[in-house]
Structure 1
Amino acid sequence: MSALDESNSRINRRTLLKAGGAAAVGLGATVLGATPASASVPVSMRFVLGGTGGNPIWKRSLHANWVLQSFGYDSVNEQIYFLQHNSTNTNAEYYGDIWVTRTDLAGNETGSMALHGFGHGVSVAVEPYNGKVYLWTETLGAGTTNENFYGTRMGRFEFINGAVFEANDSRIQDRTPTISDVVRNPQPVIDPSTNRLLVRYSNGTQRRIVAFNLSDARAGRLADANRLVERALPDPVATHQGFAAYGSFAYLLEGGTNSASYLRTIDLNDVGSSVVETFETTAGQSLPTREPEGMGIWLAPEPRLCFGFESNTGGVRQASVFYKDQLVW
């Protein structure tokens, strides 16, 4: 295995975020787009990007020999859900097809599901709820090529092992935000420490992020009045490959194939395109055709910021996952 990035600092990782599910304060009457941020959320600890961590999954094959795009943790049932995209497809009939692979925490497959015409699989939110598991993804994909075929809406649906869903399946609940901004290519994640849904989207001129209480989002309440916080995202230093959220911070993964990969921290309560930290990670540097793909929060029971890499060994595509587990105020 490749060496992990480490530092000598020692943080008390048991001092966890206390404000799980806390409501936003000071929402007020901010007009979306008039200012860079609309509200604030309770301040939390943040992950040390150069801190210690681990590598629970190393070069594991998923259900299809397709490219890993994103993943999300179900810490309640100790499962991971991976999304894969067929990057070699040239048949328009199969643009936007995604395989979902469910695994245990070591990357052993426990189930799968096919999604037809959904999009690129850039992000997935995993929601264990009332004894079932629901996935939130982009859906109703559109585009002129396989590689620019992205979801135009955001949907919530139950994971059903062995099922095949079309993008217009009646079992998909449309949960596209209805804020008074243009919402293009919505990409969801869930912060399990606060029960918030966060959505990265484009308004046509910039990338932004907006957060809601998961209970509101689940019920379809995704309007301006339900917003907890909303802000611009910084310009990427490399290709965007995933994001996650924990408390009052969001984390970005950026990089390309066989090139530098970066972890970045942004403060959800900050404004403009500000960045708390940018860190070049060498995790997985020995992987052939190493490309960063996906982020997620794993409560294990201590919180871990997870980030993934896709690799290709002689045509065999595999997934690896690393994490950071140090927190600081």
Structure 2
Amino acid sequence: MPESARFDLGGAGGNPVWKKSLHANWVMQSFAYDNVNQHIYFAQVNSQNTDPAHVGDLWITKTDTSGTQLGAMTVHNFGHGVSIAVEPYNGSVYLWTEWKSSDSGFGTRIGRFAFKNGAVLEKTSTAIQDRTPSIGDEMINPQPSIDPSTDRLLVRYKTGADLPRIVAFNLSDARAGRLSSEHRLAERALPSRGAWGTDNPFQGFAAYGQYVYLLEGRANGPSYISVVDLNGAGQSIVVDRAQTTAGQSLPGREPQGMAVWMHSSGPRLAFGFHSNTAGVRQASVFYKSEFV
């Protein structure tokens, strides 16, 4: 991957979204920016729903960049909502999410579909385009993200227990369904998570240039942002890892989701937290905008 700047994980950063309620009183899992129209799309999952007919149901809430609701749609049996990507294209906004949830509640494929306010989308709908990479690896729990600075689709997936990997494609190829081995731009192993992963669950990722940023941590515990160089080899360790105290006062604070926000003042690495105030679930977003 071409060389790029790396976000500085220190400093105060910013907090454009603070304790905003989304469309449903469900747990915010991830979010991404429409960087053309300056909107956010949040994915929420009902973590307490064990009905097989509704495992993997997600609400998608559209907001402005301060978290004020502008619309919503629901998708059935898609997954856990670990990561969402937003693609403004030809006057419409397309969402990329995990799709076709398994009994575990996590998606087994990646789907691309247009956002339509008020719509209900079943997993069998012909409006969904299958955009799952076919690169020879077994693709367990694939999760999409778009790097808006390079127009690239990145997919994090596993090939087995504690064997995470990531692969990158040009967004134009991915949009057209060209997701086979000859079209990939980069692929590499991510660090095995081991005991670290047990203590600090994976909560989302974002990419900017040659670097991938991983959000890790558990509810009511410490939260971390880790950085991996896509030009590294094997399961090389992160080039940086920092604990973030952003949102420390949030009740039930749990890290959820990352995205790159192309703001008029410059790119921002945004990361989110779910909180629970007396049963009311809310979303907060913070960002880093300085580079090392």
Which TM-score band applies after superposition, normalised by the shorter structure?
Answer: over 0.9
Aligned to 1:30: none
Aligned to 1:234: 191
Any residues of structure 2 matched to 1:248-267 within 5 Å, and which?
248-267=210-229
Aligned to 1:130: 90
Matched-pair identity in %: 63
Aligned to 1:104: 64
CA contact (8 A) 1:52 1:326 kept: no
- Counterpart code for 1:268: L
Any residues of structure 2 matched to 1:261-300 within 5 Å, and which?
261-274=223-236, 275-300=238-263
Any residues of structure 2 matched to 1:166-205 within 5 Å, and which?
166-205=122-161
Aligned to 1:94: 54
- Counterpart code for 1:183: M
* 1:248-297, Cα deviation, whole Å (9 max, x unpaired): 10000000010010001110000122210110110000000100000000
* Counterpart secondary structure, 2:116: coil
Aligned to 1:327: 291
* 1:72-99, Cα deviation, whole Å (9 max, x unpaired): 0011101000000001113222111000
- Counterpart code for 2:97: T
- Counterpart code for 1:289: G
- Counterpart code for 2:243: E
Question: TM-score normalised to the size of structure 2?
Answer: 0.96
Determine if the alignment matches structure 1 residue 318 to structure 2 residue 272.
Answer: no
* 1:109-146, Cα deviation, whole Å (9 max, x unpaired): 00100000001111101000111100000111111xxx
Q: Structure with the greater relative contact order (CA < 8 A, sep ≥ 6): 1 or 2?
A: 1
CA distance in 2, matches of 1:170, 1:128: 20
Determine if the alignment matches structure 1 residue 152 to structure 2 residue 108.
Answer: yes
CA distance in 2, matches of 1:272, 1:324: 28
Paired residue total = 284
1:42, distance to aligned residue in structure 2 (A):
0.4
- Select the structure of larger CA radius of gyration: 1
- Counterpart code for 1:57: V
CA contact (8 A) 1:57 1:107 kept: yes
From the two aligned structures, give the one with the greater strand fraction. 2
Q: Which runs of 5+ in 2 are unaligned?
A: none
Aligned to 2:180: 223
1:204, distance to aligned residue in structure 2 (A):
1.6
RMSD: 0.8
Match of 1:80 among 40, 43, 52: 40
1:52, distance to aligned residue in structure 2 (A):
3.8
CA distance in 2, matches of 1:50, 1:322: 13
CA contact (8 A) 1:233 1:273 kept: yes
- Counterpart code for 1:278: R
Aligned to 1:68: 28
* 1:214-248, Cα deviation, whole Å (9 max, x unpaired): 00000000011001001111133310000000001
Match of 2:7 among 47, 57, 61: 47
Match of 1:307 among 260, 271, 274: 271
CA distance in 2, matches of 1:290, 1:234: 25
CA distance in 1, matches of 2:282, 2:191: 30
Match of 1:57 among 13, 17, 24: 17
- Counterpart code for 1:327: F
Question: TM-score normalised to the size of structure 1?
Answer: 0.85
* Counterpart secondary structure, 1:259: coil
* Counterpart secondary structure, 2:11: coil
Determine if the alignment matches structure 1 residue 212 to structure 2 residue 197.
Answer: no
